[in-house]
Chains A and B, each alone.
Chain A
Amino acid sequence: MAAPARDLPAVTTTRESGPRRRGPRDIPRFLLLCLLAVIFLAPMYWMVATSLKAETDVIATPTQWVPLRPTLDNYREVFTSPDGNILRWMWNSFFVASVFTVLHVALCALTAYPLARMRFKGRDTIFWIILGSMMIPWVVSLIPTYLMMLKFNWINSFHSLIWPGLAGAFGVFLLRQFFMALPKELEEAARLDGANSLQVLWHVILPLSIPALVTLAVFAFMGSWNNFIWPTFVVTDIDKLTLPVGVNTFSQRYVTEYGKLMASTAIASVPVLIAYLLAQRYLISGLSTTGLKE
Chain B
Amino acid sequence: MSLSLPRENVPPRRRRGGESSGLVPYLYLLPFALLFFVFVVYPVGYGFYVSMHRWDLLAETRPFVGLEYYRNLFDFSTPQAQFFWNSMRNTAFFTIVSVPLLVATALGLALLLYRPIFGRAFFRAVFFLPGVLTVSVMGILWRWMFDNQIGLVNAVRTDIFHLQPLPFLSTEGLAWIPIIVGTLWWTIGFNMTLYLAALGNISQSLYEAAEIDGATAWPKFRFITWPLLGPVTLFVFVTTVLASFQLFGQTLVITAGGPNRTTQSAIQYITEEAFTNNQFSSASAMAFMFGLVMLIFTFLQFRIMARDAREGS
State the A residues within 8 Å of B (CB): 12-18, 20, 22, 26, 29-30, 32-33, 36-37, 40-44, 46-47, 50, 58-59, 61-63, 107-108, 110-111, 113-115, 117-121, 123, 126, 130, 133, 135-148, 150, 163-167, 172, 184, 187-188, 191-192, 194, 196-198, 200, 222, 225-226, 228-229, 233, 243-245, 247-248, 251, 258, 261-262, 265, 268-269, 272-273, 275-276, 280, 283-284, 287-289, 292-294
Contact = CB atoms under 8 A, between A and B. Distances in A.
Given A37-B122, A228-B134, 12 more contacts: A12-B200, A13-B196, A16-B116, A33-B119, A58-B150, A114-B18, A115-B29, A118-B18, A119-B18, A130-B32, A143-B270, A144-B44
Interface string B131-165: 01111110111111101011010010011000000
Interface residue SS majority, chain A: helix
A288 B141 contact: no
Interface in B111-131: 112-119, 122-130
Interface string B1-31: 1001100100010111111111011101101
B1 A139 contact: no
Contacts of A61: 150
Interface residue SS majority, chain B: helix
B295 interface: yes
A284 B175 CA distance: 33
Contact of A191 (B17, B123, B196): B17
B32 A110 contact: yes
B117 A26 contact: yes
Contact of A29 (B112, B128, B290): B112
A233 B271 contact: yes
Contacts of A119: 14-16, 18, 20-21
B232 interface: yes
Contact of A135 (B190, B205, B248, B298): B298
Contact of A196 (B1, B133, B158, B203): B1
Contact of A140 (B31, B44, B152): B44
